[in-house]
Amino acid sequence: MMEEIGVDPTLSIFEKILHLRRGQASRLSSAVSAGQLSLVAGEMRDRSFKAGSVLLREGEAPVAAYSLVRGRVRVSRRGQVIGEVGPGAAVGIGGILSRDSLGLGAVATTDVLALELDRETLGDIFEDLFPFLLDEIKESSRRHLDFIRKMKQLPNQLPAIHPEPFLSGQLDFVERLLFLKAGGPFERSSVDALAEIAQQTRYRSIEPGTTLWREGEPASGACLIVSGTIACSSSRDGGPIQFRAGRGMAMGALEPIAGQPRWHDAVAETHAEVLEHDVNDLIDVFEDNVEMGMDFLAWVSRDTLNLIETTFGPGPELLDFFTGSSN
């Protein structure tokens, strides 16, 4: 049970906006207006907790996130303390965005003043204010790419989305729908939303040795591999890495969403067939079908969480994921 101080200090709407603007300075784009930010601030509730109070419990999916105004909170995951955070942290936000069911522990180590935003209200904000959802998608994509660049090794064969092969040749409209819905971010999406994406995809047959893109190039499009394998390599500062992407793998979407260049070469290792699409078209579909956008956000966030826990373990990366702060 959460223990609150008897009389809550209250923040004015102006103070809430300033707090959000300072804490989210690196995440909010110019597309988010002051008026929209004030609407979000108005949905956040002042909460005060005594030292030792429990904000969130492990084993429970987080139902709210807490943006810390004053005080400090100790955070744990899987029974292990992963760090302590202070003002500016958004405790629990990573768990909500990724739809994580394991949860995290959050205990006030000092008296705490925070702004609470519950999970349902955040979903309503995304429904009503698409720029906020888009900013979270961009930020989650950027973080995912940052973690990949830190990894010393990637799996040689990344997991496929679709479990069964298709016949060679262009997929008809129904087959494209089935391919998109078979797994990955869109398996729960409506047929109407998937139809928009299916109509925008372009089939491409690629001969062995063909370069799809080079590391460092500007990024604008993405592809789903229908058949064949793509050999990928990167000459990044941490040392060169190589991996393969095969049937059912989605490639190249995160860089254009995050506004970053390609992070690896991609060259057809065998004859390959892909469905290509422009990421700007995908974002337009998200705006018309917000549930699909939230599904994509959850998919990217879950993949980032799995990447962190299997590669880095408990530490600053995991703390940053769940709170937006490693300090």
pLDDT of residue 1: 39
pLDDT of residue 190: 83
Render each residue's pLDDT in the chain as its tens digit; 327 residues: 344 443 346 788 888 888 777 765 445 555 567 777 788 888 899 999 999 999 999 999 999 999 999 999 999 999 999 999 999 999 999 999 999 999 999 999 999 999 999 999 999 999 999 998 999 999 999 989 988 887 766 654 444 444 454 555 567 777 777 777 766 778 788 888 888 888 888 899 999 999 999 999 999 999 888 889 999 998 866 667 888 888 888 889 999 999 999 999 999 999 999 989 999 999 999 999 999 999 999 999 998 999 899 888 888 999 999 998 644
pLDDT of residue 235: 83
Query: How is residue 93 written in tokens?
Result: 């936000």
CA-nearest of 122, 178, 175, 147 to 298 is 122
Strands in 90-91's sheet, in edge-to-edge order, are 45-49, 112-118, 64-70, 90-91
Q: DSSP character for 231?
A: E
What are phi and psi for residue 235, nearest 5 degrees?
-105, 30
Question: Backbone dihedral region of 99: left (phi > 0), alpha (psi from -120 to 50 degrees) or beta?
Answer: left
Residue 302 vs residues 4, 50, 93, 102, 152: alpha-carbon distances, Å? 31, 32, 12, 12, 20
Alpha-helix residue ranges (DSSP H) falling in the chain: 13-23, 34-43, 93-98, 119-128, 130-150, 173-181, 191-200, 254-258, 279-288, 290-311, 316-323
pLDDT of residue 31: 59
Global pTM value: 0.85
pLDDT of residue 196: 87
pLDDT of residue 28: 53
3-state helix, strand, coil in the chain (%, to 5): 40, 25, 40
Rounded Cα–Cα distance for residues 105 and 95 (Å): 11
Q: Which domains does the chain have, with CATH numbers?
A: 13-128 (2.60.120.10), 143-298 (2.60.120.10)
Rounded Cα–Cα distance for residues 264 and 283 (Å): 23
Query: How is residue 236 written in tokens?
Result: 């990044």
pLDDT of residue 156: 44
Amino acid, res. 174: V
Residue with tokens 């040795």: 209
Residue 34 vs residues 39, 47, 324: alpha-carbon distances, Å? 9, 23, 22
